[in-house]
Amino acid sequence: MNSLTVNVPAKINLYLRLTGKRKDGYNSLCTIFQKINLYDRLTLKKAKGFRLIIDGITPCSVKENTIYKAYRLLKSSTRFKGALHVHLTKRIPAGSGLGGASADAAYTLLGMNRLFKLGLNQFQLLELGKKIGADVPFFLHKYPVALGVERGDLLINLPVRRKYWILLVIYEKKLSTKKVYKAFNYLAGFRMSLTKLSREVTILSLNFKQGKLVSLGKALKNDLTSVACSLMPEVKDILRSIKECGASACAMTGSGPTVFALFKNKREVQAARERLLEHRGFKTIVCQTLH
């Protein structure tokens, strides 16, 4: 096998609570990841030197790209002596809170391990993934839904399989993840009890599994939303507008600015999308949860 092509899924955060500050400077958090069927397309090919071609966005420098970081990390951590040509078709918007960069890195690690028959086990891949980014381990797992703790890189499979239609509202304007977290730490740093976290996760999981959208909407949490709204008021505006369009379960994903809404069927999500298109300044994508 000289090449392979894989679809790389995005994610949303159904739940995101910051629980304290770690000694290494990172935030401790508790989150629920959900994979969705919005995909980048990644082709890896054996070669004599490294080359990265990206369609769909204006690329950053190669050395800053998470695919290159995964390639270099794997090369320095194993006896791998080969090289790679990578062609990425980018459909997951960059800097949107949908995990595209982390997913691309994870699937590069998985793809190279398979393509070059490196024989790395799950634990070894996870250890490499953690060095690239806190969300990378989630994409290295096959879990469609998972609870992430610590930096979000310690994961527990959540067997809450249910299909939802999703409306994503994505701004061209981006929010700096570092800036959002820094603002939160300054304005509202706190430590939550494990009892409260456990209760909230249980309630959300139950409502998600049972399809109770009104109750689920109340259970969706993201501690970064208030900060994102203060830095970018459009986030608050779109949350209000999407609720007015009939979404009872909606929230911001990651550090923003993307907002998502959950629906039970295609008719409902399309109706909400049509009403939302009266507004300007963003684009919408309809997709589904993976389960």
Cis preceding-peptide flag for 257 (omega within 30 of 0)? yes
DSSP 203-217: HHHHHHHHT-HHHHH
- If you ran DSSP here, which 8-state letter would residue 64 be given? G
Rg (CA), the chain: 19
Estimate the crossing angle of helix 122-132 against helix 66-77, to 10 degrees: 130
State how far the Cα of 289 lies from the Cα of 202, in Å rounded to an integer: 19
Look at strands 165-171 and 282-288 and give their pairing. antiparallel
State how far the Cα of 146 lies from the Cα of 23, in Å rounded to an integer: 25
State how far the Cα of 96 lies from the Cα of 88, in Å rounded to an integer: 17
State how far the Cα of 216 lies from the Cα of 207, in Å rounded to an integer: 5
Catalytic residues: 11, 135
State how far the Cα of 289 lies from the Cα of 164, in Å rounded to an integer: 6
Q: Which residues, 6+ apart, have CB-to-CB distance to 106 below 8 Å? A: 8, 70, 129, 136, 137, 138, 139, 140
Amino acid at 274: E
Coil, strand or helix: which one is 131?
Answer: helix
Coil, strand or helix: which one is 164?
Answer: coil
